[in-house]
Amino acid sequence: VLKAKQYIKRGDIFQVVLSQRFETKLTKPPLEIYKKLRISNPSPFMFFFNFHDFQIIGSSPEILVRLRKDKVTIRPIAGTRPRGSNITKDKFYKKQLLNDKKELSEHLMLLDLGRNDVGKIAKVNTVKVTEKFKIEKYSHVMHIVSNVEGKFDNKHSLLDTLLAGFPAGTVTGAPKIRAMEIIDELEKSKRKMYAGAIGYFSANKTFDTCIALRTALIKNNKFYIQSGAGIVAD
């Protein structure tokens, strides 16, 4: 973290998301874990993949890139507070989050990055921010969320469209390429699945992908997860 802050002070980056991996011994069948996850932490993207020698389970809240009806969507999430134990505390955390200058400036920076990513594959003058600094609540946390949309320019392939937003700025930083270089230098292990893309491509030239967050890899009776945090100057 201190090294990342040195890069920020030097002007290499404005923000970087550093992550670390955790592991524990598997104590329950993977499918049972997934069923409980669906109840305890429901999210827009729920998935369970069984590849026999390993499994992937997840509950991701964040779109990576979506293409539906010629509309490209990126929906950055940045800024988090816990849910309150009652309505009063919930309102307190919401107000606190929306008045946190660090969270707001970081979200705005990542919103601009998302707008730039959509602009790479959208028709000229069609990129719009349709939601800005909205609070989205989940079972355990609340987030600041914005939504960027643009009209798809069909001169681009579906793969180009996915790569325009991959990896997401919300899991790398800004500027994105330099942040990725610093992540490669500072993180102790390769991210592999973490912060990658999970989703589907259909035959009618639409697709939907989420960021592999709140996602676990189960292999050799071990349970692996990874989590990250945005580092800024202060």
Total residues belonging to the chain: 234
Residue from 194, 199, 224, 228 carrying the catalytic annotation? 194
Contacts of 195 (CB under 8 A, 6+ apart): 19, 167, 168, 171, 172, 211, 212, 213, 226, 228
Q: Is 230 a catalytic residue?
A: yes
The pTM of the whole model exceeds 0.85: yes
Position 89 scores a pLDDT of 96
Q: Is 194 a catalytic residue?
A: yes
Domains of the chain: 2-231 (3.60.120.10)
Q: What are phi and psi of 87, to 5 degrees?
A: -60, -40
Position 26 scores a pLDDT of 93
- Return d(Cα 76, Cα 78) in angstroms, integer: 7
Contacts of 63 (CB under 8 A, 6+ apart): 44, 73, 74, 75, 208, 209, 210, 211
Q: Using only the alpha carbons of the chain, give its radius of gyration.
A: 18
Apex 47 CA angle, 150 and 231, nearest 5: 65
Residue from 214, 215, 224, 228 carrying the catalytic annotation? 214
Position 234 scores a pLDDT of 74
Residue from 114, 169, 173, 230 carrying the catalytic annotation? 230
Residue from 143, 150, 199, 209 carrying the catalytic annotation? 143
Position 1 scores a pLDDT of 87
C-alpha distances out from residue 101 to 13, 85, 108, 226, Å:
19, 24, 10, 27
pLDDT in tens, 19-68: 999 999 999 999 999 999 999 999 999 999 999 999 999 999 999 999 99
Q: Is 214 a catalytic residue?
A: yes
- 86 DSSP assignment: S
Note whether 225 and 216 are within 8 A (CB): yes
Q: Is 115 a catalytic residue?
A: no
Element (H, E) at 116: helix 101-119
Q: Is 172 a catalytic residue?
A: no
Q: What DSSP line would sit under 182-200, residue for residue?
A: HHHHH-SS--TTTT-EEEE
**Residue-level pLDDT, tens digit, the chain, 234 residues:** 899 999 999 999 999 999 999 999 999 999 999 999 999 999 999 999 999 999 999 999 999 999 999 999 999 999 999 999 999 999 999 999 999 999 999 999 999 999 999 999 999 999 999 999 999 999 999 999 999 999 999 999 999 999 999 999 999 999 999 999 999 999 999 999 999 999 999 998 899 999 999 999 999 999 999 999 988 887
Position 232 scores a pLDDT of 86
